[in-house]
């Protein structure tokens, strides 16, 4: 039977009873149809998890926490995915699947050819939405640490955000170097930044700028992948090379 896992954005402590918010309460009682006394796992995204017992008293839904368990399902490498903004469902798909695949951090990038452009207010709303998508993906995949989801950044600011990351890769279909070949001298525990362009690709000036500040252009085989496919494929390849799929 599949283990039920619930994300709770709250301070957790063994022996405490913690109330679930309205969304989580509805999910466990209406969608999952759990009853009072059901067992589940609870985590707050900061590492580890707690076995818990569901308590339902009228409209109040809470969980009684057992002893903390330091369960770690994180990848041996810290991949920072700089994903150019894509249309709503495509971006949600990238956030969800990258979280399942063990991404450490996602930086949404407003590139010149990005179909979606967000102002500050809409950007904050989308960021909160993406964080919820990531939390749900952690519930499903067994991760106990939430990936960092940044607010959208303009291209130059995104490059600056990862300037201290030693290994920075730019996915480019016309690149001569392969992804695997570019990592032959890279330590498996190293942090890696991965830049993925939008549907129409990065502009030439953006490519030149990324290379200028230290990104290395790499290709993913002979085919051109869509923006929502390229980053996930590269992330999978990196995790495989690092032994995360062993």
Note the pLDDT of residue 190.
83
Q: Which residues pair with 241 in a beta bridge?
A: none
CA-wise closest residue to 139 among 47, 45, 15, 68: 45
Say if residues 135 and 146 touch (Cβ distance below 8 Å): yes
Mean pLDDT, residues 144-158 taken together: 96
Please say if the pLDDT value at position 188 is more than 70: no
What is the per-residue pLDDT across 211-237, written as a single tens digit (0 to 9) for each? 999 999 999 989 999 999 999 999 999
Over 90: is that where the pLDDT of 120 sits?
no
Which percentage of the chain shows pLDDT scores above 90? 78
pLDDT at residue number 106? 98
Q: Convert the pLDDT of each residue in 77-91 to its tens digit.
A: 999 999 999 987 999
Using a pLDDT cut of 70, give the percent of the chain over it. 97
Q: How many helices (H) and strands (E) does the chain have?
A: 7, 12
Confidence of residue 1 (pLDDT cuts 50, 70, 90): low
SS3 63: strand
Residues of the chain with CATH 2.40.240.20: 5-65
DSSP 86: -
Distance CA 83, CA 22 (A): 31
Residues facing residue 151 across a β-bridge: none
- Which CATH code fits 5-65? 2.40.240.20
C-alpha dihedral, 29 to 35 to 41 to 45, nearest 10°: 20
Portions of the chain given CATH number 3.40.1280.10: 78-241
pLDDT surpasses 80 at 189: no
CATH code, 78-241: 3.40.1280.10
Q: How far is CA 223 from CA 34, 173, 178, 190, 228, in A?
A: 46, 7, 13, 27, 14
């Amino acid at each position: 039977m599949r283990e039920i896992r619930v994300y709770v954005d709250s301070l957790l402590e063994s022996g405490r009873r913690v109330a679930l918010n309205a969304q989580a309460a509805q999910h466990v009682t209406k969608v999952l149809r759990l009853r009072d006394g059901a067992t589940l796992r609870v985590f707050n995204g900061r590492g580890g998890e707690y076995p818990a017992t569901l308590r339902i008293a009228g409209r109040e839904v809470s969980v009684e926490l057992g002893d903390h368990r330091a369960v770690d399902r994180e990848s041996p490498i810290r991949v920072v995915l700089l994903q150019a903004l894509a249309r709503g469902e495509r971006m949600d798909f990238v956030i969800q699947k990258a979280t399942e695949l063990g991404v450490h951090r996602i930086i949404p990038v407003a590139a010149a050819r990005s179909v979606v452009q967000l102002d500050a207010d809409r950007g904050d709303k989308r960021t909160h939405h993406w964080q919820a998508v990531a939390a749900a993906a952690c519930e499903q995949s067994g991760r106990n640490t939430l990936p960092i989801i940044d607010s959208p950044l303009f291209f130059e600011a995104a490059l600056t955000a990862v300037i201290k990351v030693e290994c920075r890769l730019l996915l480019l279909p016309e690149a001569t170097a392969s992804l695997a070949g570019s990592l032959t001298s890279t330590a498996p525990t190293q942090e890696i930044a991965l830049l993925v362009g939008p549907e129409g690709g990065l502009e030439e000036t953006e490519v030149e700028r990324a290379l200028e500040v230290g990104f290395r252009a790499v290709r993913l085989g002979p085919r051109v992948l869509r923006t929502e496919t390229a980053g996930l494929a590269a992330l999978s390849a990196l995790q495989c090379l690092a032994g995360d799929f062993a």
